[in-house]
């Protein structure tokens, strides 16, 4: 890894990744975003800061400035190498994968600027990969800083959820805290199954809701199938949009940005899922993440086309498995003619799109005005 980093590849292969995918997508939706983390005083760190600045995103560093020169190689920007095979399958590799310690284990406390940023934000997002970078006790401090301030906590355990579940005692403890105390949980159907032992995504989501203390939403991402949002009182389902997929890197991060948008704007759950599916799908039409994630114009185009992949048989089977649960089930559908029942309500996509477009078009005009000033 050191050899690869020291002989920098052509800059056309560099890209901001990780949570930068999320914050860039969120910023393009019109949300004010800051990112918390560490970058070194090196060419990669300068590149990353330039990308964030160009997207209108501020960064708050994890360290006090006076500490900057004391950590040698461990202070350098953490690089992740994305490995792609001819079938567009991806693997990710960084120096954190070859160490039993977090990459920035020297960060042992939250700085005052970090605390202030958390306290002044409406949402704190954290995912499982942060355990590769920071010690569990520090991550736990950030969680409780947010809770004490009334900041909503979003948590996506990601692929690391399974390993954290069987990790060190500190990792297991903090993972359990996030699963219980977060307000919004986001998982793929496979990740939900690995954490609950329940294969059905709706039942797995309901299990996480029941075990949670502060949990309001559990969102299950199902790729090309779509997504499901579970609350204590209802279930919302939204098929994915049909697109020509070029690359899936960053789709989940972009999806989460739209969930945050819907949550902050108090949008109906089905509307939030429809927007998130559109943003994720728009990202899939491009290659690479970072600056290549969805832009608002592409999202608007997908919403206007309203071409969703209903996969009627799949959704029928999934919903029938859950018709015995007491909650109302809302399903985004192509047609307004589909018959609803006391328990299952079909929501026409054109109704949802008519509610989303004015809000998003206003953000698009506002963004253009900023660019032109």
pLDDT band at 364 (very low <50, low <70, confident <90, very high): low
pLDDT attached to residue 72 = 60
Question: Does residue 367 register a pLDDT over 50?
Answer: no
**Per-residue model confidence (pLDDT) at position 45:** 93
Instruction: Return d(Cα 268, Cα 270) in angstroms, integer.
Output: 6
Neighbours of 320 (CB within 10 A): 10
CATH class of 12-312+327-334+342-362: alpha beta
Q: What is the DSSP code (8-state) at residue 79? A: P
Domain ranges (residues) in the chain: 12-312+327-334+342-362
Q: Which of 339, 340, 343 is nearest to 326 (CA)?
A: 343
Read off the pLDDT band of 371 (50, 70, 90): very low
| Average of per-residue pLDDT across 109-120 | 96
The mean pLDDT of 90-119, rounded to a whole number, is: 89
pLDDT tens per residue, range 186-216? 999 999 999 999 999 999 999 999 999 999 9
Q: Are 46 and 68 in contact (CB under 8 A)?
A: no
Of 53-67, 234-248, 282-296, 329-343, minimum mean pLDDT range: 329-343
C-alpha distance from residue 159 to each of 165, 186, 191, 229 (Å): 11, 12, 7, 20
Buried b (16+ CB within 10 A) or exposed e, 158-184: bebbbebeebeeebeebbebbbebbbb
| Structure confidence by residue, pLDDT tens digits, 299-337 | 999 999 999 998 888 888 888 777 666 678 899 999 765
> Token pair of 350, please?
């054109």
Please count the other Cβ atoms lying within 10 Å of the Cβ belonging to residue 104. 21
Which distant-in-sequence residues (6+ apart) come within 8 Å of 191 by Cβ?
157, 158, 159, 161, 162
The H-or-E segment that residue 218 falls in is strand 217-221
240-to-26, 29, 330, 362 alpha-carbon distances in Å: 20, 19, 15, 24
The pLDDT of residue 373 is 20
Alpha helices in the chain (DSSP H): 2-6, 19-28, 43-54, 112-120, 130-133, 136-149, 160-165, 169-181, 189-196, 201-211, 251-264, 269-284, 296-305, 312-321, 349-372
Q: Is the pLDDT of residue 135 over 80?
A: yes
Which tens digits make up the pLDDT trace of 136-161?
999 999 999 999 999 999 999 999 99
> Which tens digit of pLDDT belongs to each residue from 269-309?
999 999 999 999 999 999 888 999 999 999 999 999 999 99
Query: What average pLDDT is seen over the chain?
Result: 89
List the single range of 28-42, 60-74, 120-134, 248-262 with lowest mean pLDDT: 60-74
| Mean pLDDT across 91-115 | 88
């Amino acid at each position: 890894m050191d050899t690869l980093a020291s002989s920098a590849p052509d800059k056309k292969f560099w890209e901001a990744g990780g949570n930068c995918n999320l914050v860039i997508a969120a910023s393009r939706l019109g949300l004010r975003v800051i990112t918390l983390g560490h970058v070194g005083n090196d060419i990669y760190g300068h590149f990353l800061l330039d990308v964030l600045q160009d997207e209108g995103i501020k960064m708050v560093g994890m360290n006090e400035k006076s500490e900057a020169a004391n950590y040698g190689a461990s202070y350098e920007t953490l690089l992740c190498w994305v490995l792609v095979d001819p079938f567009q399958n991806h693997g990710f590799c960084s120096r954190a994968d070859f160490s039993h310690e977090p990459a920035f284990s020297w960060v042992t406390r939250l700085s005052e600027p970090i605390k202030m940023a958390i306290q002044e934000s409406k949402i704190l997002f954290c995912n499982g990969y942060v355990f590769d970078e920071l010690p569990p006790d520090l991550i736990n401090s950030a969680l409780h800083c947010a809770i004490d301030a009334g900041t909503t906590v979003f948590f996506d355990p990601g692929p690391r959820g399974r390993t954290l579940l069987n990790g060190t005692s500190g990792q297991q403890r903090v993972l359990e805290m996030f699963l219980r105390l977060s307000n919004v949980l986001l998982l793929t159907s496979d990740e939900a199954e690995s954490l609950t032992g329940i294969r059905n995504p709706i039942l797995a989501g309901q299990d996480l809701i029941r075990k949670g203390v502060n949990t309001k939403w559990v969102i299950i991402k199902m790729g090309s199938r779509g997504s499901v949002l579970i609350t204590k009182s209802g279930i919302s389902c939204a098929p994915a949009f049909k697109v020509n997929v070029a690359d899936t890197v960053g789709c989940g991060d972009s999806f989460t940005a739209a969930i945050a948008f819907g949550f902050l704007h108090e949008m109906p759950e089905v509307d939030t899922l429809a927007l998130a599916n559109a943003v994720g799908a728009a990202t899939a039409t491009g290659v690479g993440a970072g600056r290549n994630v969805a832009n608002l114009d592409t999202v608007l185009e997908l919403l206007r086309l309203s071409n969703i992949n209903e996969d009627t048989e799949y959704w029928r089977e999934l919903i029938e498995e859950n018709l015995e649960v007491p909650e109302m089930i809302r399903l985004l559908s192509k047609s307004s003619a589909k018959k609803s029942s006391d328990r299952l309500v079909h929501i026409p996509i054109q109704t949802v799109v008519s509610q989303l477009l004015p809000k998003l078009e206003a953000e698009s005009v506002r963004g253009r005005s900023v660019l032109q000033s």
